[in-house]
Structure 1
Amino acid sequence: MELQGRVAMVTGAGRGIGAAVADALAARGAAVAVCDVNSEAAAESAAAVAGRHGVRTVGVTADVSEGAAVRAAVETAAAALGPVDVLVNNAAVDVVKRFVDSTEEEWDRIISVNLRGTITVTRAVLDGMIARGTGRIVHIASDAGRVGSSGEVVYSATKGGVIAFGKALAREVARHGITVNTVCPGPTDTALLGQVAEYSQKMYDATIRAIPLRRPAEPAEIAGVVAFLATDAAAYMTGQTLSVSGGLTMV
């Protein structure tokens, strides 16, 4: 139980990769605050994790693009479970279409959730981590942020920003005993991958064929890497960007 006695907060944890991450952290003994913009999904995911692993959980609601909501969610999590030791920034949105067909409203939403949201949630937990002299922060970016992805231009830009944010922050907070690392999933069996198939089945099929392992990832396969980064086994890793893509990208 490598995370016994620690409190984790996972954003976008009502489903998909976020829910799998919450489960993986709980399996290692962490108490988990399941944060999602959908309050019912957060509560259901938190209850399911508690039922499977017998750990303390709480469902909290926040749109990560809204600073006041984020700060309230962090306070609720801390009141229920204790201060956050492990933060996983997973919440993200996308609209799959050609850049020339996208709108300013879509750009603003993608940027505000994916990049600003990651920055906002991180800032909300950072003072406490610094005061305690310890912390683990893991960002979920995407290989789209490393190599680009057709139909996901602004999404790719935000995920590249998350990677850069993680590297720079890691340099600043290392002296406080805090590590910051970024996990970049490749195609994963989530609602987002379903958007790609809806946009272009041909693109989806070509992407899967290009993966050396010949299949998309399961959310649990991403979650295992995230959970490792939260443990003391990864205590000397910081500022790193890890692709979990079945070999689709080898950067």
Structure 2
Amino acid sequence: MELADRVALVTGGGSGLGRATSRLLARSGAHVVVADIDEESAQQSVKLIEQDGGAAEAVALDVADPAAVDRVVGDVFDRHGERFDCLVNNAGTDRGSDLVDIDDEQWHAVFGVNVDGPMHLARAFVRGRLARPDRVADIVNVVSISALTVGAGAAAYNSSKAALLKLTEVLQTEAREHAWPVRVCALNPAAMATPMMDQWGLPPERMMDPDIVAGLIRTAITLPPEAVLQTAVVTLRNEYFPR
């Protein structure tokens, strides 16, 4: 299969897009490390993958904890070596609130997961790949259409996703200028039918199936090594953003 002999770490893999991505990559032949702050949810994803006939393992991971990130990434490299060549930074959180209502703890918690987490993981992953330069590896950062639009009620989320998009652009530039054996993709999906969206009460016709975005992630990591899906926006046809 197209991802045979590859190992992918998917954060936030216990639900939503992370679960959909983990299952699709496993069905395509990858061994998937399903990482989630909720280990039980990660284990449930692994059970679904195994029912699909795929291979996976679960790991508890708080992406906002740099020591935990270094430990998990280092362990995956120790066990899988150069086969560990794909990182999907999918974990995200939201504390829906206008700016005047959000407190410092909420603000920093959102940035800790949505910005610091992908930075910690990308840093550890690139360091590991620099010691294993024989083939091109992939980082996919799941950003959001919220990085490109502005709406009330999600001050920390929108701001953090804009910061993640800029961080991704920095990673892309450094990968190119330093000739890292890594390519970096930013995906900016509109609203998806995931548990995180429950608080917003959007009608089903305004939300995408996570499998659509999972398919784009698979496309990004299966391009020929000389190509890169640099940045993509994916929405439903009835979506009015970006303006």
- TM-score norm. by structure 2 comes to 0.90
Q: Distance in 2 between matches of 1:85 and 1:97?
A: 37
Match of 2:183 in 1: 179
- Identity percentage of aligned residues: 30
Q: Offset at 1:77?
A: 2.7
Q: Distance in 2 between matches of 1:50 and 1:170?
A: 34
Q: Distance in 2 between matches of 1:37 and 1:245?
A: 28
Q: Offset at 1:25?
A: 1.0
**Paired residues for 1:65-84 under 5 Å:** 65-83=64-82, 84=84
Q: Tell me if the contact between 1:146 and 1:160 (Cα under 8 Å) persists in the aligned partners.
A: yes
**Paired residues for 1:43-192 under 5 Å:** 43-55=43-55, 57-83=56-82, 84-133=84-133, 134-174=136-176, 175-192=179-196
Equivalent AA in structure 1 for residue 214 of structure 2: A
Q: Give deviations 1:187-209, integer Å, cap 9, x for gaps.
A: 11011211112xxxxxx35xx7x
Q: SS of the residue aligned with 2:100?
A: helix
Q: Tell me if the contact between 1:31 and 1:81 (Cα under 8 Å) persists in the aligned partners.
A: no
Q: Offset at 1:3?
A: 1.0
Match of 1:244 in 2: 234
Match of 2:218 in 1: 227
Equivalent AA in structure 2 for residue 72 of structure 1: R
- TM-score norm. by structure 1 comes to 0.88
Please tell me the root mean square deviation across aligned C-alpha atoms, in Å.
1.8
The number of residue pairs the alignment matches comes to 236
* Structure 2, gaps ≥5 residues long: none
Q: SS of the residue aligned with 1:100?
A: coil
Q: SS of the residue aligned with 1:33?
A: strand
Q: Which runs of 4+ in 1 moved over 6 A?
A: none
